[in-house]
Amino acid sequence: MLKNKKLILASQSPRRKDLLAQMGFEFEIRLNPVDETPPADLPIEALAEYLAQKKAHALRHTLTENEILLSADTVVIKNGVSLAKAQNATEAKKMLSQLSAQVHQVQTGVCLLSKNKEICRSEITEVHFRELSTAEIDFYIQNYAPFDKAGAYGIQEWIGMVGIKKIVGSYFNVVGLPTHLVYEMLQEMD
């Protein structure tokens, strides 16, 4: 599919690495940390795509003719506010309490970049949580340490298995990479 192109993943996320590998792609990891502070006037629905594009642009100078760079960023949106990664157990508990018995959106922005082309898109999935008890939230935080995940949870972990009633949209988007969208976008990168 990549027609003699080399795929570069601009992410440290073990979930994104696993999903790309499960799709059958061979790839190299390339990183260049960026400041993820968005402009104050950026609409929340543009945040994930903005951050994915910013990550891609930070590595633009490293690309050779036969390389395609894939960057992504996932945000959890509740009532028009982005829930970032929790820095500690207190923040994680607050976020999970906000998501309990509520509906929120998970948006992943994806950017593909080569020397000659750039495509950026995003996917939104609606997630419905049942009511979580304080004991359940505490158990999850103590046993799964969800501090590297937007919204302080992983759908593929215990909390997703017992706490999510339903999703509308892509499961893999909530994991961190809308695989169907990535596949479609890669087909356009000729």
Could you give the CA distance from residue 112 to residue 68 in angstroms, rounded to a whole number? Answer: 7
93 Ramachandran zone, left/alpha/beta (phi>0; psi -120 to 50): alpha
**Residue owning tokens 């990664």:** 85
Identity of the residue numbered 134: T
Dump strand ranges (E) for the chain. 6-9, 27-29, 67-78, 81-83, 103-113, 118-129, 164-168
Instruction: Give me 173's structure tokens.
Output: 């988007």
Active-site entry in 18, 41, 73, 148: 73
Backbone angles phi, psi at 24, to 5 degrees: 95, 10
For 190, other C-beta atoms within 10 Å of its C-beta total: 10
With CA atoms as reference, report the closest residue to 163 among 189, 139, 187, 190: 139
Going by the DSSP 8-state scheme, the letter that residue 94 receives in this structure is H
With CA atoms as reference, report the closest residue to 14 among 121, 129, 156, 151: 156
For this structure, is 73 an active site residue?
A: yes
Residues with active-site annotation: 73
